[in-house]
Chain A
Amino acid sequence: AQSVSQHNHHVILSEAASLELGCNYSYGGTVNLFWYVQYPGQHLQLLLKYFSGDPLVKGIKGFEAEFIKSKFSFNLRKPSVQWSDTAEYFCAVNAGYGNKLVFGAGTILRVKS
């Protein structure tokens, strides 16, 4: 069965620090990869997605992610975080039938101002 692992459940950073959130998945075939963000009290919003092509994808709000096929990874990065980036971040993978998404457990990011 597919699974998605997010390495850290809680991350605390100061403003302007760099961010990298790890995501690994277990599926050997073609995958579609997503990062979603959930701000406190809100629904999930798409940050970025990878389907094919350039493995470095850029999303909204200065986020980017790199797909490394050999490592089954899709890590999320941001060079300089802001207080407003405080949220929970979910990595998700679609592989196989239909449009089923398998989510990681989430990483709660808190940015101190």
Chain B
Amino acid sequence: EAQVTQNPRYLITVTGKKLTVTCSQNMNHEYMSWYRQDPGLGLRQIYYSMNVEVTDKGDVPEGYKVSRKEKRNFPLILESPSPNQTSLYFCASSGRVGNQPQHFGDGTRLSIL
């Protein structure tokens, strides 16, 4: 079954404690992306990756890092989380061409206290 898998699904943590949200896809997609969803703002792109070792900033990259060492994995790293990063996070993947729809993971709800 085609899937984008995120872990953890829920996390409550404290300011400054480094955390990583993992994302893995089994569709051999080149393109992967991270979004955050906040009420009234829709989804905003944090980072994206066009392929292995190719990553770039989205619209709201501050406070986040990513890496793409393997095609299937695209972890999101918060080196020093702050309360304004409390949000619902989605990972997505698709083929490289722009007219291909993105497949989304189930989401990770992060609460930074």
Contacts and interface: CB of A to CB of B under 8 A. Distances in A.
Q: Do A and B interact with each other, yes or no?
A: yes
Interface of A: 4, 6, 9, 32, 34, 36, 42-46, 49, 51, 90, 92, 94-96, 98-106
30 contacts: A6-B42, A32-B99, A36-B104, A43-B104, A43-B105, A43-B106, A43-B107, A44-B43, A44-B90, A44-B104, A46-B101, A49-B101, A51-B99, A92-B43, A96-B98, A98-B31, A98-B50, A98-B96, A99-B33, A99-B94, A99-B96, A99-B97, A99-B100, A99-B102, A100-B58, A101-B45, A103-B35, A103-B42, A103-B44, A105-B40
A49 B105 CA distance: 19
B22 to A, nearest CB: 16
A100 B45 contact: yes
A104 B96 contact: no
Contacts of A49: 99, 101
Given A99-B97, A103-B43, 4 more contacts: A43-B107, A46-B101, A99-B33, A99-B94
Of the listed residues B40, B58, B101, B102, the one surrounded by the most CB atoms of chain A closer than 10 A to its CB is B101
A90 B48 contact: no
Interface string B46-63: 001010000000100000
A9 B94 contact: no
B2 interface: no
